Structure 1
Amino acid sequence: MKTSRRQLVLGSLAAALPLSALRSAHASTFPERPITFICPWPAGGTADQSMRALCQVASTVLGQAIAVENRAGASGMIGAKALASARPDGYTIGQIPISVTRFSQIGTLQADPRKDYSYLARTSGQTFGVAVPVDSPYKTLAEFVAFAKANPGKLTYAHAGLGGATHVGMEEFASVAGIQLTNVPYKGGAEALQGVLGKQVDALADSSSWAPHVEAGKLRLLATWGEQRTPRFKDTPTLKESGYNVVVDAPNGIGAPKGLDPAIAAKLRDAFRQAVASAEFKAVADRIDAPVLYLDGPDYEKYVNQVYQRETVLIDKLKLRELLRG
């Protein structure tokens, strides 16, 4: 009886407290248990490696473990949807691929990146590039473009899937260059790489999966797609400096479901700010050629909205909806 009466009294007191006070009390003790981090890519890939490095440092800052849970599939959209649908209590966070701005408009993602996420940090980008077999007749990007102009549709390129960054980036380049290429979609970058190494296609559009093969003398890198040259391949020009105003770096970001308590969001933002600045993360980023592109949560949210608007134009320009319908 005493226990029941005590519970009743405590319940009445809790009910009497304003919601803001309860939220404040919850935020002050956060986190009280391990956090789940949804990575929308397979284990072992470059995105997975970078996210695990960040989570390891952030867990030290927060004083709780962060368990990485891989939910791969649909070009990252399975994990992105799972994150948007989770409880906004701070105990489920995850990577938000910037391609949510494209796939939400095409219909592949049943979530709106402008409304359904709380943004915590933009972390790092990716180094994309165009590579050809080392015995290819195209020694430079200019030679590649010249042949494509003279032979519309004859040149083929492998990429990691329709609508993804490598497909859209290559088509944007082709549009700016005034050439027509034939895209050959594969089930991921690893298979696309094998398609080029096996001489099934003329060129590869991918993130840095080509890097060790360029260094081994099996592939020739014609151009990278970043704002600046990548230090590891400093002799290779960017698309932009080659005269094509195209920049693709597909930054990774970290977020949570919409409705996250601002005080909890502040703790998570601070933890991942420290993680991005850490020596541990820089070592991983350098190893996978991932330029650090940090933005704090509010600025990252503004960036996502800007990309969403650009994607709206690009989707119509490249007729992506028609391409994906087959």
Structure 2
Amino acid sequence: MLVTRRHALGLGAAALATPALAQRSFPDKAIRMLVPWAPGGTTDVQMRAVCEQAGKRLGQPVVVENKPGAGGILGAQALLNERPDGYTLSQMPISVFRVPFMAQRPPFDPLNDFTYISHLTGYLFGVVVKADAPWPDFKSFLADAKANPGKFNYGTPGVGTSLHITMEQIAGKQEINWVHVPFRGVAENMQALLGGQIHATADSSGWAPLVEDGRLRLLVTWGPERAKRFPNVPTLKELGIDIVSTSPYGIAGPKGMDPAVVRTIDAAFKEAITDPAHMAVLDKFDMPPMHMGPEAYTAFVRKSVEEESAMIRRMGLRM
């Protein structure tokens, strides 16, 4: 009888350790989602929308916590000190795959320090100027910048972001010397542009309402094709600049997460992405749904890290 009881207790302990039970019991409290950008920007609005829908499917709220600055890597850095229990996650911009190769002391290893869960979407990027600026199109802006080396400046959300990298790629192709001015978020960026402190802003489509209101002029977009809401604005490729930049992103947690918990989170976000309420936000910002599960997303990260690190070395970029 004693052996039977011990056997039963052993079976019970084994059952408690199974991923299936971990999956059924997770989550039993709110989940923190770190968003390494300022409130009110494109990423913040999109992430709040998708987290709201994912929370409904998980049965617990997914609460956004903003950590702006440092080119979008503060969420990833924070994960290094969190338990891998699924209750703290972060949006992972492509700068996470770049900054370690630009820094003298890499803040983390993008391949081995995180658990990649769900890929979500990508951006519509573009360059805007004030509506009364003297440049009717991007070609005239580039011509003036080239004729005035070191005198033109542009704002972005930070060093090492896709906006910064792409603007420097454009400068290299066009033989332009201009000045990069990093900001903590879209609000600061737009304020500096409207106030005349910078000549142009390269950012995601948080500028769209100001373009539609007639306060800003959109000169170019960076996608593979023209944006649905701005069909009269050309892409870089149409202007003879062979660059497409959409900076796709997803969510991750600390390294060593339980695969069952990862699957539970991914399933919720996979459904949330195509929820009509979230799709309305994607449409508003001209952002496509781009879901990948844990395996495909991890493979995507490995490929991206290889490509981004090679680009950093080629361009000689340093923090």
Range class of TM-score, shorter chain = 0.7 to 0.9
Residues 98 and 253 in structure 1, CA contact (< 8 A), matched pair in contact too = no
Structure 2 residue aligned with 1:89: 85
**Letter matched to residue 61 of structure 2:** A
Does 1:313 find its partner at 2:293?
no
Aligned CA RMSD, in angstroms, stands at 2.7
Does 1:138 find its partner at 2:145?
no
Structure 2 residue runs without a partner (length 5+): none
Please give the secondary structure, in 1, of the residue aligned with 2:98: helix
Of 38, 45, 48, which aligns to 2:41?
45
CA drift at 1:173 = 1.6
Please give the secondary structure, in 1, of the residue aligned with 2:217: strand
**Letter matched to residue 52 of structure 1:** R
Q: Relative to structure 2, which stretch is displaced further, 9-18 or 59-68?
A: 9-18
CA drift at 1:109 = 5.8
Distance 2:189 2:7 in 1: 59
Q: Relative to structure 2, which stretch is displaced further, 285-294 or 14-23?
A: 14-23
Q: TM-score, normalised by structure 2?
A: 0.88
Q: Deviations over 1:20-79 (max 9, x none)?
A: 944443233322333222222333332222112112211222222223233333233222
Does 1:125 find its partner at 2:122?
yes
Of 176, 179, 190, which aligns to 2:176?
179
Of 75, 80, 101, which aligns to 1:79?
75
Does 1:203 find its partner at 2:200?
yes
Number of aligned residues: 315
Summarize the alignment of residues 225-244 of structure 1 with structure 2, pairs less than 5 Å apart.
225-244=222-241
Of 235, 245, 249, which aligns to 1:248?
245
Of 289, 292, 299, which aligns to 2:289?
292
Residues 72 and 161 in structure 2, CA contact (< 8 A), matched pair in contact too = no
Of 290, 300, 303, which aligns to 2:300?
303
Q: Deviations over 1:149-202 (max 9, x none)?
A: 344333322223222222212111211233222223334332222222222332
Does 1:157 find its partner at 2:151?
no
Structure 2 residue aligned with 1:3: none
Structure 2 residue aligned with 1:98: 94
Structure 2 CA distance for partners of 1:154 and 1:12, relative to 1, 3 Å: same
Structure 1 residue aligned with 2:271: 274
Distance 2:155 2:127 in 1: 10
Residues 69 and 158 in structure 2, CA contact (< 8 A), matched pair in contact too = no
Please give the secondary structure, in 2, of the residue aligned with 1:72: coil
Q: Relative to structure 2, which stretch is displaced further, 228-237 or 202-211?
A: 202-211
**Letter matched to residue 231 of structure 1:** K
Structure 1 residue runs without a partner (length 5+): 1-8
